[in-house]
Structure 1
């Protein structure tokens, strides 16, 4: 099968065979896979809570490389001012012309707590970028003088390619906690089993969504 063959069309996401193959590992996840799962969480798993927002990695990258006074171009269409918890998959790519990079981490903005939480499975790797990104958010949401930046302890990856998987697991874990507690502070850390089983879990999900799509045609 050609690697460009479409495996699943899901709302705004288009997964090709080459994207799905990344989930079989050991491979670094690209922005297409992360964007798909973020979309699934927002549309399916957490659809009952309109206060959660999962920002596509491509949009996060645009925010990261744009001046602070221009990020409303990307956040306003997402109705972000009316969200309590906003999830960003942060990449260390500094290029504006193309996707890429070598490391993912998760940044969560909590409006109720006036805080940003940065979860990095390779502690320190994205710290500078996360801090700069957080300051843009504080300025945009009018919290420049009283926004709190936090680097909570989180499960650390044991290889050089599972950072994206950690981002997806942390996102789901924190969203579940925020749904109940209405805060991020105090969220328990991941169990390593959550990470080790996530790739197969997403592969099974893609299979189910693809089968359902074909049955509905």
Structure 2
């Protein structure tokens, strides 16, 4: 049964993302983050924070890429001008269907200057298989047939629900780093305080962008 709009109103519409009140409330407590929250933040990074050299692929689109044929993938990457991007970020979900869902997020970053796919997983490599699946599906379309898959050491989560927060923090952390150094290699570890503060920062950001969430 679909939820009634009046019982779960839109809290924020931001470019191609739409957050409902129930989505935003996931940031209030110890909750796993859904596609909508990650999609919103990737829209924010794309439109308000980083330049045209970086590409942030919405998580629901990344999930659908697993099931696209070569023509569909070519059209998607052409629309996003992926051939012009030095770094492309993919939020990876362990869901085995084309629908929203799953239980774990990790981050896959394609570095064109280094001809590598870097994988950052805050739960000891749990998402290695779905990350390799995405990489194998898209690397030909990116002109990266010989690119290496590089599992990369990163800060580990201390609970069962903060994987989405780690992906958001790592995306920001890496984007800032590659903007300065044009490479992922040498990236310092994320600090745990950044993760601890991020939920409150996201709530403040959503509010500042005109959210209708009532406190």
Q: Which runs of 5+ in 2 are unaligned?
A: none
Matching of residues 1-217 of structure 1 within 5 Å: 3-46=7-50, 49-67=51-69, 70-96=72-98, 98-144=99-145, 146-210=146-210
Deviates more, 1:56-65 or 1:15-24: 56-65
- Report the count of equivalent residues: 208
Whether the 8 Å CA contact 1:107–1:130 is kept in 2: the answer is yes
Whether the 8 Å CA contact 1:42–1:54 is kept in 2: the answer is yes
Deviations 1:149-178 (A, max 9, x none): 101100000101000000000000000000
SS of residue paired to 2:208: helix
Structure 1 CA distance, aligned partners of 2:30 and 2:72?
A: 37
Cα displacement (A) at 1:3: 4.7
Structure 1 CA distance, aligned partners of 2:75 and 2:100?
A: 20
Structure 2 CA distance, aligned partners of 1:42 and 1:107?
A: 17
Structure 2 CA distance, aligned partners of 1:137 and 1:184?
A: 20
Judging changes above 3 Å, is the alpha-carbon distance between structure 1 residues 149 and 56 closer, same or farther for their aligned structure 2 residues? Answer: same
Structure 1 CA distance, aligned partners of 2:197 and 2:160?
A: 17
SS of residue paired to 2:23: helix
Deviations 1:71-103 (A, max 9, x none): 22322211111100000001011112x210000
SS of residue paired to 1:87: strand
TM-score normalised by L of structure 2: 0.92
Cα displacement (A) at 1:6: 1.1
RMSD: 1.6
Q: Which runs of 5+ in 1 are unaligned?
A: none
